[in-house]
Amino acid sequence: MTLKSINPATGEMMGTYEEIAPEEAARAIVRCDAAFAAWRETSFSERGALMKGAASVLRNRREEYATLMALEMGKPVRQGRAEIEKCAWVCDYYAERAGSFLESEIVATDARKSFISYRPLGVILAVMPWNFPFWQVFRFAAPALMAGNAALLKHASNVCGCALAIEDVFAKAGFPAGLFKTLLAPSGSVEAFIAHPAVKAVTLTGSTPAGRAVASAAGRMLKKTVLELGGSDPYVIMEDADVEKAAAVCAESRLVNSGQSCIAAKRFIVTAPRERQFTEIFVQKMLAARVGDPLDGATDVGPLARLDLREELHRQVMESVASGAGCLTGGRISEGAGAYYPPTVLRGVEKGMSAYDEELFGPVAAIITVMDEEEAIRTANDTSFGLGAALFTKDLERAERIAASRIEAGSCFVNSFVKSDPRLPFGGIKDSGYGRELSYFGIREFVNIKTVYVA
């Protein structure tokens, strides 16, 4: 099977890649496992020096990698540069902290000595999506490798160039041959990779159906999984919010990565006294975003990654409008080449509409009006997803109470848009998955948390 890389801004074929043969994939997994056998015995300082080297490679080749993302999946190049910088940050973060995060912990018991040891598991398979083609790999790879594991990458088929470039980052940084390996393969190959005895665990970032499929395959083999899946993040604007600031933050979050982010703002839940003012400012902000060539540094919104994704997004918009939602701007497929879709705002969105019930993966915003705080919280939680959420209010004591105990999500940000940060755990609940990436929680997901008891 031939895997294709197509520029979503022009429809031009960027490259073709041959799928790895099953027997060659099996040999690569064995080589990865062999590299792990030596790597697991290296010190944190040795690993950290190489991981710092990976950060340097990323920074030195930032323009090249940002351009590659723009060409393969349409990410505006300015955002691509920021993504590469963030990848370098996560490499530095774990290079400096992995040793302390995984230091043995003495526990007082009736034994002469008892402690908790953290040891690597082995080869970890990462199944990654196209929307943040570097960041989502590095936020897994940096902690996994620093913990002493080896890594296999099965990336999305439309970003093969990025997948190979990431493998090259680790090679250029001096990591042992075979320790990080990219397997160019379609989704149908994942189950066979999981079944290989050398693969000890799996992490996936992707859709909820993909998560169920991977969890099912791994479960049959009794292998650990971490799943970061879809989201329909609610952004709640209370009656006492700074509406100007809230509208600006909401528009920025809705349009990040051209709206193709699991933790982008999706549903805007506005209390009735603020709905009109918020909507007016929000629409202005959405209209002000510059749509265009992702290679242009001034572009805010590029094309969607594929034409079929645009068709699916447009279906959701049209079905919502047919069910009674008002379309304040956008809502029409752009003319000309490329998978472009205009920033779109839907008003009067209600339960039962596609824009309310489904994840909108593109620059489409759904405004939902509620009467008070209680209805806002019920509406925010009225979803099968639970990845991120945001709350806008001037009453910070109230905000902390709601964010900490009442919003059902893996994270809740107050007066800010949701984002991942190496210092904080990242992940979801409900149909948004389980397990955590980043912080010390993330590095401990793929280790043997081992009790040692000396009588």
The predicted pLDDT at position 343 comes to 98
Q: Which residues contact 43 (CB under 8 A, 6 or more apart)?
A: none
183/173 Cα distance (integer angstroms): 20
Q: Which residues contact 39 (CB under 8 A, 6 or more apart)?
A: 47, 145, 148, 149, 150, 176, 179
**Local confidence band at 62 (pLDDT 50, 70, 90 cut-offs):** very high
- Looking up tokens 């690993």 gives 47
Report domain extents, the chain.
2-229+430-454, 233-414
**Domain 2-229+430-454: homologous superfamily in CATH:** Aldehyde Dehydrogenase; Chain A, domain 1 (3.40.605.10)
The predicted pLDDT at position 35 comes to 98
Percentage above 90 pLDDT, the chain: 99
DSSP letter, residue 188: G
157/194 Cα distance (integer angstroms): 18
Which pair of tokens denotes residue 341? 């879709």
Does pTM top 0.85 for this prediction?
Answer: yes
Average pLDDT over residues 85-89: 98
- Looking up tokens 């002000």 gives 288
pLDDT in tens, 317-369: 999 999 999 999 999 998 899 999 999 999 999 999 999 999 999 999 999 99
61/72 Cα distance (integer angstroms): 17
The predicted pLDDT at position 444 comes to 98
Which pair of tokens denotes residue 163? 């997948």
Annotated catalytic residue within 262, 275, 358, 437: 262
Q: Return the CATH architecture of domain 233-414.
A: 3-Layer(aba) Sandwich (3.40)
228 is catalytic: yes
pLDDT in tens, 214-231: 999 999 999 999 999 999
Average pLDDT over residues 94-103: 98
110/64 Cα distance (integer angstroms): 58
Annotated catalytic residue within 72, 83, 228, 358: 228
417/285 Cα distance (integer angstroms): 15
262 is catalytic: yes
Coil, strand or helix at 440: helix
From the list 96, 70, 98, the residue with the least C-alpha distance to 84 is: 70
